[in-house]
Amino acid sequence: MASKYTVTLIPGDGTGPELVEAARLVLEATGLAFEWDVQPAGLDVLEKEGTPLPERVLRSIRQNRVALKGPITTPVGSGFRSVNVALRQELDLYANLRPAKSYPGVRSRYQGIDLVVVRENTEDLYAGIEHWVIPGEAAESIKIITRRASERIVRFAFEYARENRRRMVTAVHKANIMKLTDGLFLEVARQVATEYPDIEFNDRIVDNMSMQLVQRPEEYDVLVMPNLYGDILSDLASGLVGGLGVAPGANIGDGIAVFEPVHGSAPKYAGQGKVNPTATILSGMLMLRWLGEEAAAAAVEAAVAEVIAAGECVTYDLKERRDDPTAVSTMEMASEIAKRVRERMRTAVA
Ligand code: NAD
């Protein structure tokens, strides 16, 4: 009997619940035994429980050590802190892993891209430590970079590169201007790199990196960077491979991880069952890999790639014309992927 995994399932809000249902269907098609500890969080929960992130959610993830999460809306300018940022900080999920890989059949300006963005997830300007210097006139945001956080994220990138047979790690920074903060990040990156002589190392200034990713993305492999640059460049990397609908993500700490798509809750499509489940399903694939279920992860990735390449059972955004009447629903696309996962797992066992 295969091991049983108890996974915290956070449906999220907006299109989150329908996407998480789609991913659950595909993950169960692997034949692995999952027990889902469903923990609502987000806007609806705020109304009922007075907080969008009740303690029970954190307790569940701390206990199960693994969660699959749908996107959660953060209203602009509202009083409450982003649930997504709070989760990463509370659970010390210090590494944000965002692979950007081309799948044939996804319309994009580029082919053959296989990049991984490793984003520091706990500090930098993104921690949102801000205050008014002169109310209404001047505001200040504090950028914190520490040796400890820089060292563990760069080490994570090198370990990831080694385990996944990647050839190169590039540190991205603005150390020419931010001499102390980004200077420290770069100094630490160079030090850590000496421990990994089998992996090539280089560094790029973030503005130059942005241009190079647009012009020559195939020259890069694993990119590691502080939080805010990672937020921006990982969306750029998603754009290189066809957009947010296909970009998975993982927030990883020591022995604990939360898997979620890069995209947000796309609230205007909520309840319509039409958004693309690929990013959430591929986040589930990253979860399988993290759990050490390599065969199941490979089956899910191959099934996703097949369905996208065939181009029939895909959502509107993957069709050439967005109003194509042959576009299928979120669940229909997931069912087709699940069917192919079952076939692959059966063949693997036979
Ligand atoms: P979004 O990612 O929700 O949407 C951006 C665009 O991408 C929209 O045009 C949307 O229609 C499209 N899109 C997104 N996901 C798609 C999918 N699966 N299939 C097809 N098209 C898809 O970004 P936004 O509109 O800036 O944010 C909406 C809300 O989500 C905000 O409140 C934001 O704070 C939140 N958000 C949450 C997370 C998270 O939970 N980790 C991440 C990003 C944004």
The residue contributing the CA closest to ligand 1 atom 34 is 74
301-347: pLDDT as tens digits = 999 999 999 999 999 999 989 899 999 999 999 999 999 999 999 98
Is 234 touching ligand 1 by the criterion CB < 6 Å? Answer: no
Is 301 touching ligand 1 by the criterion CB < 6 Å? Answer: no
CB contact at 8 A, 259 and 249: yes
Is 266 touching ligand 1 by the criterion CB < 6 Å? Answer: yes
- What average pLDDT does range 94-109 have in this prediction? 94
Cα 87 to Cα 92: distance, rounded to the nearest angstrom: 8
Domains along the chain with CATH numbers: 1-110+243-350 (3.40.718.10), 114-240 (3.40.718.10)
- Token digits for 112? 């053959």
Is 84 touching ligand 1 by the criterion CB < 6 Å? Answer: yes
Question: Catalytic amino acids?
Answer: 126, 174, 207, 231
Task: Answer with the residue of higher pLDDT: 273 or 80.
Answer: 273
**Share in percent of the chain as helix, strand, coil (round to 5):** 45, 20, 35
The residue contributing the CA closest to ligand 1 atom 40 is 71
Quick check: pTM over 0.85?
yes
Instruction: Compute how many other C-beta atoms are within 10 angstroms of the C-beta atom of residue 310.
Output: 12
Is 241 touching ligand 1 by the criterion CB < 6 Å? Answer: no
Q: Residue 295, SS3?
A: helix
64-88: pLDDT as tens digits = 999 999 999 886 665 667 888 889 9
**In this prediction, what percent of the chain has a pLDDT beyond 90?**
87
Q: How far, in whole angstroms, is CA 31 from its chain's centroid?
A: 24
Cα 149 to Cα 204: distance, rounded to the nearest angstrom: 19
For a mutational test of ligand 1's pocket, the pick from 227, 265, 275, i.e. the residue with the most ligand atoms closer than 8 A to its C-beta, is: 265
pLDDT surpasses 50 at 221: yes
For a mutational test of ligand 1's pocket, the pick from 84, 244, 268, 329, i.e. the residue with the most ligand atoms closer than 8 A to its C-beta, is: 244
CA 268 to ligand 1: nearest atom: 11
Distance separating the N- and C-terminal Cα atoms of the chain = 16
